[in-house]
């Protein structure tokens, strides 16, 4: 059983194109996230949704727009792709954070985006 | 702000060697601390966690103790295996309505047979 799945696994596209990455979780979690991992493996949060509501929006270009049709899905749409967008994008999910944040996040396998 | 600092890699060891990967943190409040592992071509998996001072997290022979006095959460394993080769991330979260995990920069570990 796949807990957090992402499609596609690989995405190669040209500058200026618009693309989407889909994420689904079957864990019954309320909260979902998008992370970007650069070539040096540095991992940075981009967005977080709780029950379809945006709760974290880090400093990300507005070319990136997350969409959560329901609490099991969080898709990432990217407009006007740039070379610097090339990275691995990870989706994750968790239970709704508690008082001490004692939750763990479950990650998808990642989508490797290459912009040429 | 909240941050995590971990030792730079790569770390290369021989099989059965003792492993330590250092991690220190800066946080307001009372963070929970985590170690995640990323095997080649895969997403991150939670390896272990600790939620309060002096807690010890352990899994698969790995251990880490939450040390509030030194703000550290060092990862240790007594005898590493080739299958432990991966990138290890130290991370923290501070509870709030908008909780997020802050990751360290990752440490690549390679184990020689």
With an 8 Å Cβ cutoff, is B38 touching chain A? yes
Distance CA(B56)–CA(B34), nearest Å, equals 11
pLDDT of residue B98: 45
Residue A95 parent element (H or E): none
CB contact under 8 A, B51 and A98: no
Query: What residues contact B93, with CB distance under 8 A and at least 6 apart?
Result: A97, A101, A103, B31, B32, B34, B99, B100, B101, B102
pLDDT of residue A98: 59
- What is the tens place of the pLDDT at every residue in B3-49? 999 988 899 999 999 999 999 999 887 888 999 999 988 889 999 99
* Structural Rg of chain A based on CA atoms: 14
Residues of A in contact with B95 (CB under 8 A): 97-102
């Amino acid at each position: 059983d796949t807990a957090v799945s992402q499609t596609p696994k690989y995405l190669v596209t040209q500058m200026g194109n618009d693309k989407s990455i889909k994420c689904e979780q079957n864990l019954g979690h309320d909260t979902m996230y998008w992370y970007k991992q650069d070539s040096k493996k540095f991992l940075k949060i981009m967005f977080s949704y709780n029950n379809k509501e945006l709760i974290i929006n880090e400093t990300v270009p507005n070319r990136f727009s997350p969409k959560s049709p329901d609490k099991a899905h969080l898709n990432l749409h990217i407009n006007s792709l740039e070379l610097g967008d090339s990275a691995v994008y990870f989706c994750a999910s968790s239970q709704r954070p508690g008082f001490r944040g004692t939750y763990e996040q479950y990650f998808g396998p990642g989508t490797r985006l290459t912009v040429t | 702000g909240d941050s995590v600092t971990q030792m730079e890699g790569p770390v290369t060891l021989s099989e059965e060697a003792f492993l330590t990967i250092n991690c220190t943190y800066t946080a307001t409040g009372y963070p929970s601390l985590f170690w995640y592992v990323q095997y080649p071509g895969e997403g991150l998996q939670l390896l272990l966690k600790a939620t309060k001072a002096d807690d010890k997290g352990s899994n698969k022979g790995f251990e880490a103790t939450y040390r509030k006095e030194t703000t550290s959460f060092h990862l240790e394993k007594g005898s590493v295996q080739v299958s432990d080769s991966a990138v290890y991330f130290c991370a923290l979260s501070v509870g709030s309505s908008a909780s997020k995990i802050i990751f360290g920069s990752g440490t690549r570990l390679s184990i020689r047979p």
